[in-house]
A = this chain, B = another copy of it.
Amino acid sequence: MKLSARNQLKGTVESVTEGAVNSIVAIKVGNDMVKANITSEAVRDLALEAGKEAMAIVKATNVMFAAGSEKIAGISTRNQICGKVVAVSEGAVNGHITVETAEGVRISGSITNEAIESLGLTVGSDAVALVKSTDVIVGVE
Residues of A within 8 A of B (CB): 1-6, 17-24, 35-39, 41-43, 45-46, 57, 59-62, 64-68, 72, 74-78, 89-96, 109-112, 114-116, 119, 130, 132-135, 137-141
A52 to chain B minimum Cβ distance, whole angstroms, is 11
A91 to chain B minimum Cβ distance, whole angstroms, is 3
Most buried by B among A18, A23, A89, A134: A134
* A133 neighbours in B (Cβ, 8 Å): 39
Given A3-B72, A42-B78, 5 more A-B residue pairs with CB atoms under 8 Å apart are A1-B72, A19-B20, A20-B20, A72-B139, A75-B138
**Contact across chains for B3 and A64 when beta carbons are under 8 A apart:** yes
- Supply 14 A–B pairs (Cβ within 8 Å), ascending by A: A4-B64, A4-B115, A6-B114, A24-B39, A24-B41, A36-B76, A39-B76, A43-B76, A57-B75, A74-B139, A74-B140, A77-B137, A89-B93, A92-B92
A98 to chain B minimum Cβ distance, whole angstroms, is 11
* A94 neighbours in B (Cβ, 8 Å): 91, 93-94, 110
